[in-house]
């Protein structure tokens, strides 16, 4: 009887170990930051989560994002803050998430992780706000996060989480 219990315990432990190794396989895929800031909120850009796969789509996206604003006497374009604007679409594609217009500066958006599965890549997007009791300037803004990843034929699925 004790031998059977021991065998069952070993089997249960082995199975538990194999299930926990599934979690270890769900590591985040690497990505390169292109831009993460906030728009002023008046540009008229809708909330969206998109995959950009061609140069033409990228040029159209940059045109929409390039609302000019002034800093002192200089005119600044939003894409001036991007880490890079020339993308090799034979090797990379762009993941862009733009939040809704928020009533104050207490909001942020971040691509936390990209988990590769057999048939898709899950993009985990976290939207955060300041904790209660903290105040932020009452200025509308629209957080965004743009990254590049290696080209994939897998579908891209976005999952938004709140903090």
Q: What is the pLDDT of residues 115-142, one digit of tens each?
A: 999 999 999 999 998 766 566 677 888 9
Higher pLDDT, 152 or 74: 152
Please state, in angstroms and rounded to a whole number, the distance separating the CA atoms of residues 71 and 74.
5
Average pLDDT value for the chain: 82
Evaluate if residue 38 carries a pLDDT over 50.
yes
Do strands 155-162 and 120-129 pair parallel, antiparallel, or not at all (unpaired)? parallel
Tokens 């061609």 sit on residue: 54
End-to-end alpha carbon distance in the chain: 50
Domains of the chain by residue range: 28-162
Predicted pLDDT of residue 87: 97
Longest dimension (CA), the chain: 86
Neighbour-count burial for 66-81, b at 16+ CB within 10 Å, e otherwise? ebeeeeeeeeeebbee
Q: Which two tokens stand for residue 159?
A: 């999952």
Higher pLDDT, 19 or 152: 152
Count the Cβ atoms, other than its own, within 10 Å of residue 147.
21
Evaluate if residue 163 carries a pLDDT over 50.
yes
Please state, in angstroms and rounded to a whole number, the distance separating the CA atoms of residues 135 and 159.
28
Distances (CA, A) of 20 to 14, 24, 25, 26, 110: 10, 7, 9, 10, 27
Q: What is the pLDDT of residues 75-117, one digit of tens each?
A: 778 999 999 999 999 999 999 999 999 988 888 999 999 999 9
Distances (CA, A) of 79 to 53, 66, 99: 18, 6, 17
pLDDT average, residue stretch 14-30: 50
Please state, in angstroms and rounded to a whole number, the distance separating the CA atoms of residues 69 and 77.
6
User: Under a CB-based contact definition with an 8 Å cutoff, are residues 140 and 101 in contact?
Assistant: yes
Evaluate if residue 20 carries a pLDDT over 60.
no
Please state, in angstroms and rounded to a whole number, the distance separating the CA atoms of residues 143 and 35.
10
């Amino acid at each position: 009887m004790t031998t059977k219990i021991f065998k069952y315990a070993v089997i249960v432990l082995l199975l538990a170990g194999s299930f926990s190794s599934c979690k270890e396989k769900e590591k985040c895929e690497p990505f390169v930051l292109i831009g993460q800031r906030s728009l002023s909120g008046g540009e008229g850009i809708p909330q969206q989560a998109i995959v950009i796969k061609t140069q033409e789509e990228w040029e159209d996206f940059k045109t929409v994002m390039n609302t000019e604003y002034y800093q002192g006497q200089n005119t600044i374009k939003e894409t001036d803050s991007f880490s890079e604007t020339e993308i090799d679409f034979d090797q990379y594609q762009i993941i862009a998430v733009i939040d809704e217009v928020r009533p104050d500066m207490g909001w942020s958006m971040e691509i936390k992780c990209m988990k590769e599965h057999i048939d898709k890549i899950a993009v985990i997007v976290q939207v955060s706000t300041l904790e209660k009791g903290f105040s932020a300037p009452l200025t509308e803004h629209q957080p965004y996060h743009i990254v590049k990843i290696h080209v994939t034929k897998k579908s891209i699925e976005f999952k938004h989480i709140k903090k």
